[in-house]
């Protein structure tokens, strides 16, 4: 168990030296009359809740006026939690400034790209670069740390909340000043900025940093490197807030770990969590399934594998998810029976040692009154609360997995900077969506029941037998070199089209595509090849059969036919007869190039071939529709099998099902919609 895990306050929680899985959620007692608080504590105990997040949106209560402070109510709740043996993840309460602040100082408000001020009345109405906001926020953090740093119930600090969820990017005057300062530090003199931004294009040369602005709405396409640097700055600025708040907490209460809740889900892309992860003592993530996404179950698995990658393979906290419906999607149906349990246990299967929700008790008022909680509007006599109690029992039964880790043979490289660049306009195609392409490759592995670590561009790739590099459009030389070394050392590296094309300034590498990967792959591409929407082509090769592809095709020249084999050729389309998929021997490994966007069936066959070549097989066999999650390993190993389907299935091998206590000798049945967690010898 890492020393940086939740600091469980009471010795009896550390039974046999092992802490429990954390279970609970956001608790907003200030929305409820006092008499409800005692009921809450009793119901929490009934459900097995052992961790609550307090104070996230409490600033207006804690500091009702500039020079008035009121901690009495929070003292009372903290003491109640301590008396109930429920640990607290205490927020710094800086997530949402109170109206007295924003009405007296409208200059702290964030501004959108068109120059519209985002006013008070919702939440997160602050410009992350505002010096006044920072000053007042840190005063609050100092008081929180001084008052509660030694409190018996305190287990974890929670900086702000979902930082940047609504106020990033911010184009305010404060952002402009801070952006210039950041650029001056990065480039030293304005000529270096002119070179990096390619400002001789369209008469954009700057005479001084004072002339530079954030990339506000402009007559046409903005300078791409300006946009990229502003994205970097936006992530850095909020990370700086995290660091500043964390520094206060660590100074006052050095033994209490610090986290903040990331948003690794769907298309949340403004913050480079790869860089942020170093600033938290443990990685925490919020994840919500999109109800209308037919691949929602897979998206959850991808996000969990990415969160584990950010955590460097160590256990992490699922800080928020929903017990049932949310309120912010176009249509918000409740979760299907059993889905709460399946969603939650998939997160544990993929490395979470905590399962928490937004929120404990569904609100009566406010914008989230139709968001589910553990205690719904119907009260504790409800299906949802009974499900919450059952989930608490499941998590208690899984206590032995705490602290165990997951090792996989396959890595998928995922880079926020590549995402920021790829999402810009004025590209060959607006049909390329970075996360969707990364998810598609991951899904082929998920369907093959082979575990994947989703890792950042600086990750150590040695030790992986397969390294997937989908659509890594921007790549630094160091990252490209690390990927090449992985192949030399024996890995099968798979790089897809439009990768390696630009450097860290978003400048095109000359001499042919795929730029940084040309030598590794042994191919050269002279022209990029977007396909018009709805157009498909076919590729064929002995080991992948005939596969349909779309979105993109490239005219690939094999540079060294002796070392580079054509695995599949285009059957039709603009490059009919030409190479579509190639494979080059590099050291004891392979470097594959896939010059088109294969549809699911073809991608899955190709992945099958790559895995077979690399000697990677699924750890466990299971029937169709049963997701077998990567093994967690410690003193034993644990196989999580989750049946998302309508039919009974099974998972191979035997073991002790921790959820039922049943010992199985042979294949283990997994009921429709059910979950089994099997302990096997390590
Ligand atoms: C985010 C926030 C919570 C709440 C939920 C609703 O995760 O952190 O405060 O708004 O979304 O799903």
Give the DSSP letter string of 478-533.
HHHHHHHHHHHTT-EEEEETT-S-B-TTSPBPSSSBTGGGHHHHTEEESS--B--T
Span from the CA of 105 to the centroid of ligand 1 (angstroms): 26
Kindly give the number of the ligand 1 atom that is closest to the alpha carbon of 57: 9
Q: What is the pLDDT of residues 321-345, one digit of tens each?
A: 999 999 999 999 999 999 999 999 9
Region 142-156: mean pLDDT is 98
Q: Would you tell me how many other CB atoms lie within 10 Å of the CB of residue 91?
A: 24
What pLDDT does residue 629 have? 76
Region 597-621: mean pLDDT is 95
Q: What is the pLDDT of residues 261-281, one digit of tens each?
A: 999 998 899 999 999 999 999
Cα 233 from Cα 496, distance rounded (Å):
29
Partners of 158 in the β-ladder: 91, 259
Domains 410-614 and 626-681 alike in fold: no
Please answer whether residues 678 and 651 qualify as being in contact, where contact means their C-beta atoms are separated by less than 8 angstroms: yes
Region 437-464: mean pLDDT is 96
Residue whose CA is closest, atom 12 of ligand 1? 326
Residue 83 to residues 19, 50, 87, 525, Cα–Cα distance (Å): 19, 12, 10, 67
| Catalytic machinery residues | 162, 320
Cα 413 from Cα 517, distance rounded (Å):
14
- For residues 223-256, one letter each, b for 16 or more C-beta atoms within 10 angstroms of the residue's C-beta and e for the rest, the string is bbbbbbbbbbbbbbbbbbbbeebbebbbebbeeb
CA 58 to the chain's CA centroid: 26
Span from the CA of 165 to the centroid of ligand 1 (angstroms): 9
Give 98-107 contacts, CB < 8 A, sequence gap 24+: 98/59, 98/60, 98/63, 98/64, 99/60, 100/60, 100/64, 100/65, 100/66, 101/66, 101/133, 101/136, 102/126, 104/66, 105/132, 107/132, 107/172, 107/173, 107/174
Q: What is the pLDDT of residues 212-232, one digit of tens each?
A: 999 999 999 999 999 999 999
- For residues 458-468, one letter each, b for 16 or more C-beta atoms within 10 angstroms of the residue's C-beta and e for the rest, the string is ebebeebbbbb
Does 484 score more than 90 pLDDT?
A: yes
Region 524-552: mean pLDDT is 96
SS3 at position 436 = helix
E strands, 188-272, where? 258-259, 261-262
Does 4 score more than 60 pLDDT?
A: no
CATH number corresponding to 626-681? 2.60.40.1180
Q: What is the pLDDT of residues 38-68, one digit of tens each?
A: 999 999 999 999 999 999 999 999 999 999 9
Q: Would you tell me how many other CB atoms lie within 10 Å of the CB of residue 664?
A: 17
What pLDDT does residue 92 have? 98
| CA-based nearest residue to 336, from 678, 677, 672 | 672
| Close Cβ partners of 666 (under 8 Å, ≥ 6 residues apart) | 654
585 pLDDT band (50/70/90 cuts)?
Answer: very high
Cα 564 from Cα 612, distance rounded (Å):
19
What pLDDT does residue 576 have? 98
**Read out DSSP for 114-149?**
TS-B--SSSS--S-TT-HHHHHHHHHHHHHHHHHHT
Span from the CA of 673 to the centroid of ligand 1 (angstroms): 27
Span from the CA of 118 to the centroid of ligand 1 (angstroms): 19
* Pairing label, strands 589-594, 579-586: antiparallel
Please answer whether residues 518 and 556 qualify as being in contact, where contact means their C-beta atoms are separated by less than 8 angstroms: no
**Residue owning tokens 């690794």:** 264
Q: Which residues line ligand 1 (CB under 6 A)?
A: 161-162, 286, 288, 320, 326, 358, 368, 371
Domain ranges of the chain: 1-27+38-49+283-403, 410-614, 626-681
The best mutation among 30, 91, 163, 320 to test binding of ligand 1, ranked by most ligand atoms within 8 Å of the C-beta, falls on: 320
Sign of CA dihedral 9, 12, 18, 19: negative
Cα 372 from Cα 380, distance rounded (Å):
13
Does 1 score more than 50 pLDDT?
A: no
Residue 319 to residues 51, 264, 285, 322, Cα–Cα distance (Å): 10, 11, 5, 10
Measured between alpha carbons, how far apart are the two ends of the chain, in Å? 17
Does 106 score more than 60 pLDDT?
A: yes
Does 538 score more than 90 pLDDT?
A: yes
Region 353-359: mean pLDDT is 98
Span from the CA of 527 to the centroid of ligand 1 (angstroms): 45
* Pairing label, strands 258-259, 154-158: parallel
**If you average pLDDT over every residue of the chain, what do you get?**
96
Fold category of 410-614 in CATH: Rossmann fold (3.40.50)
Residue whose CA is closest, atom 4 of ligand 1? 358
Does 2 score more than 70 pLDDT?
A: no
Residue whose CA is closest, atom 3 of ligand 1? 358
* Pairing label, strands 22-27, 352-357: parallel
Name which of 4-8, 241-245, 474-478, 624-628 the model is least confident about.
4-8
Q: What is the pLDDT of residues 663-674, one digit of tens each?
A: 999 899 999 999
Q: What is the pLDDT of residues 63-104, one digit of tens each?
A: 999 999 999 999 999 999 999 999 999 999 999 999 999 999
| CA-based nearest residue to 484, from 517, 508, 452, 454 | 517
3 pLDDT band (50/70/90 cuts)?
Answer: very low
Cα 88 from Cα 24, distance rounded (Å):
10
What pLDDT does residue 625 have? 86
The best mutation among 122, 123, 262, 358 to test binding of ligand 1, ranked by most ligand atoms within 8 Å of the C-beta, falls on: 358
Percent of all residues in the chain with a pLDDT value above 90, rounded to a whole number: 93
Q: Which CATH superfamily is domain 1-27+38-49+283-403 in?
A: Glycosidases (3.20.20.80)
* Pairing label, strands 51-54, 87-91: parallel
Residue whose CA is closest, atom 9 of ligand 1? 358
């Amino acid at each position: 168990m890492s020393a940086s895990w939740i600091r469980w306050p009471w010795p009896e929680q550390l039974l046999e030296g092992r802490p429990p899985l954390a279970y609970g959620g956001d608790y907003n007692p200030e929305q409820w009359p006092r008499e409800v608080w005692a009921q809450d504590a009793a119901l929490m105990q009934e459900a097995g809740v052992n961790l609550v997040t307090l104070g996230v949106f409490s600033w207006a209560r804690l500091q009702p006026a500039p020079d008035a402070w009121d901690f009495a109510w929070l003292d009372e709740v903290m003491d109640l939690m301590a008396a109930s043996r429920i640990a607290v993840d205490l927020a710094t309460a800086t997530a949402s400034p109170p109206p007295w602040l924003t009405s007296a100082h409208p200059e702290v408000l964030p501004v959108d790209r068109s120059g519209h001020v985002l006013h008070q009345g919702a939440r997160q109405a602050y410009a992350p670069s505002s010096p006044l906001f920072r000053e007042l926020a840190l005063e609050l953090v100092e008081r929180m740390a001084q008052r509660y740093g030694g409190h018996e119930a305190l287990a974890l600090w929670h900086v702000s909340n979902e930082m940047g969820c609504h106020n990033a990017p911010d184009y305010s005057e404060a952002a402009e000043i801070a952006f210039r300062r950041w650029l001056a530090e990065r480039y030293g003199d304005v000529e270096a900025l002119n070179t990096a931004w390619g400002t001789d294009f369209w008469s954009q040369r700057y005479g001084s940093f004072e002339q530079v602005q954030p990339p506000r709405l402009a007559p046409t396409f903005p300078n791409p490197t300006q946009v990229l640097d502003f994205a970097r700055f936006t992530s850095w600025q909020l990370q700086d807030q995290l660091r500043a708040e964390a520094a206060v907490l660590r100074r006052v209460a050095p033994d209490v770990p610090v986290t903040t809740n990331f948003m690794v889900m769907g298309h949340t892309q403004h913050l480079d969590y790869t860089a942020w992860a170093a600033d938290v003592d443990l990685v925490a993530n919020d994840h919500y399934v999109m109800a209308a996404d037919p691949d929602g179950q897979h998206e959850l698995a991808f996000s969990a594998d990415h969160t584990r990658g950010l955590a460097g393979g160590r256990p992490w906290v699922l800080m928020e998810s929903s017990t049932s419906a949310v309120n912010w999607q176009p249509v918000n149906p409740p979760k299907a029976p059993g889905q709460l349990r399946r969603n939650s246990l998939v997160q544990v299967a993929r490395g979470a040692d905590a399962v928490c929700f937004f929120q404990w008790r569904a609100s009566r008022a406010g914008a989230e009154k139709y968001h589910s909680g553990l205690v719904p509007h119907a009260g504790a006599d409800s299906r949802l609360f009974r499900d919450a109690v059952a989930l608490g029992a499941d998590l208690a039964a899984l206590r032995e997995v705490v602290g165990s880790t997951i090792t996989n043979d396959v890595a998928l490289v995922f880079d926020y900077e590549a995402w920021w660049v790829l999402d810009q306009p004025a590209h060959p195609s607006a049909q390329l969506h970075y996360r969707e392409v990364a998810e598609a490759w991951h899904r082929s592995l998920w369907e093959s029941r082979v575990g994947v670590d989703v890792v950042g561009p600086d990750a150590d790739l040695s030790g992986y037998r397969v390294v997937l590099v989908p659509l890594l459009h921007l790549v630094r030389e160091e990252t490209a070199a690390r990927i090449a070394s992985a192949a030399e050392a024996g890995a099968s590296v798979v790089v897809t089209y439009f990768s390696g094309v630009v450097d860290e300034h978003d400048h095109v590498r000359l001499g042919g595509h795929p730029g940084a990967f040309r030598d590794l792959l042994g191919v050269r591409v002279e022209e990029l090849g977007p396909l018009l929407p709805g157009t498909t082509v076919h590729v064929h090769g002995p080991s992948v059969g005939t596969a349909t592809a779309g979105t993109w095709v490239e005219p690939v020249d094999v540079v060294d036919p002796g070392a580079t084999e054509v695995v599949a050729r285009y059957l039709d389309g603009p490059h009919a007869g030409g190479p579509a998929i190639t494979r080059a021997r590099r050291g004891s490994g392979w470097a594959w190039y896939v010059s088109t966007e294969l549809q699911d069936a073809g991608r899955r066959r190709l992945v099958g071939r790559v895995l077979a070549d690399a000697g990677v097989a699924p750890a466990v066999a299971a029937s169709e529709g049963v997701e077998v999650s990567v093994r967690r390993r410690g003193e034993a190993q644990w196989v999580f099998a989750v049946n998302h389907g309508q039919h009974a299935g099974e998972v191979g091998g035997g073991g002790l099902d921790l959820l039922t206590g049943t010992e199985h000798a042979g294949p283990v049945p997994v009921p429709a919609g059910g979950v089994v967690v099997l302990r096997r010898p390590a």
